[in-house]
């Protein structure tokens, strides 16, 4: 009986590690229009892969496989900009996935206005978080509110807001 219980728990842990705790619907994205520079402006939920909270991405669509690559810029603890290249692959039904340090993250887009804002949800088996991105590095609370309102029409279950970001850093 003990061996069976251990096997069942191990199988459940393996299955859980492959899925998000909550997966919202993802809207289709035109990656060509979405390409370019985006700045983080607001975070929902706790994120352990993005340190510090403020970042800039430069996204490029991949024609051959419909995924995208990006350069992820953030400031380290010494206030120096660090850049990391990341590759996202299509994961079906308008989702994309990223594997980083052995953990697979699923990305769902919740709202996008290509010239101004985007909201995405990113999750693994242990965490879920969302970011509001804008084309401008200057904070615009009205635009952020519009983006969040649009995202909640797709998925009303955004994680709770995290501390307010002041991302006018680059």
Task: Give the 3-state secondary structure of residue 13.
Answer: helix
Task: Give the model confidence (pLDDT) of 66-123 as tens digits.
Answer: 889 989 888 777 878 889 898 999 998 899 998 877 888 889 999 999 999 999 988 8
Q: Are 82 and 54 in contact (CB under 8 A)?
A: no
CATH code, 31-154: 2.40.128.20
Q: What is the band of 46 on the pLDDT scale with cuts at 50, 70, 90?
A: low
Residue 20 to residue 100: CA distance in whole angstroms: 15
Q: Between vectors from CA 152 to CA 151 and to CA 158, what angle results, nearest 5°?
A: 95
- Please give the model's pTM, rounded to 2 decimal places: 0.79
Task: Give the model confidence (pLDDT) of 116-162 as tens digits.
Answer: 999 998 887 777 788 899 999 888 889 999 999 999 998 887 777 77
Q: For position 99, what pLDDT does the model report?
A: 83
Q: For position 169, what pLDDT does the model report?
A: 54
Per domain, the residue ranges of the chain are: 31-154
- Give backbone dihedrals phi and psi of 7, rounded to 5 degrees, phi first: -65, -45
Torsion angle of C-alpha atoms 100, 71, 87, 33, degrees rounded to 10: 140
């Amino acid at each position: 009986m003990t061996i069976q219980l251990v096997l069942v728990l191990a199988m459940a842990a393996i299955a859980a590690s492959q899925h998000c705790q909550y997966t919202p619907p993802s809207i289709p994205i035109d990656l060509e229009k979405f390409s370019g520079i985006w700045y983080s402006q607001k975070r929902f939920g706790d994120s352990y892969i993005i340190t510090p909270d403020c970042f800039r991405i430069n996204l490029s669509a991949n024609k051959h496989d419909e995924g995208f690559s990006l350069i992820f810029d953030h400031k380290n603890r010494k206030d120096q900009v660090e850049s990391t290249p990341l590759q996202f692959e299509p994961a079906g039904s308008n989702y994309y996935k990223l594997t980083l340090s052995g953990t697979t993250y699923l990305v769902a887009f919740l709202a996008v206005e290509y010239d101004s804002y985007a909201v995405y949800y990113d999750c693994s088996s242990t965490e879920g978080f969302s970011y509001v991105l804008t084309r401008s590095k200057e904070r615009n609370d009205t635009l952020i509110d519009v983006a969040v309102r649009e995202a909640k029409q797709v998925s009303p279950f955004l994680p709770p807001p995290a501390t307010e970001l002041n991302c006018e850093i680059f």
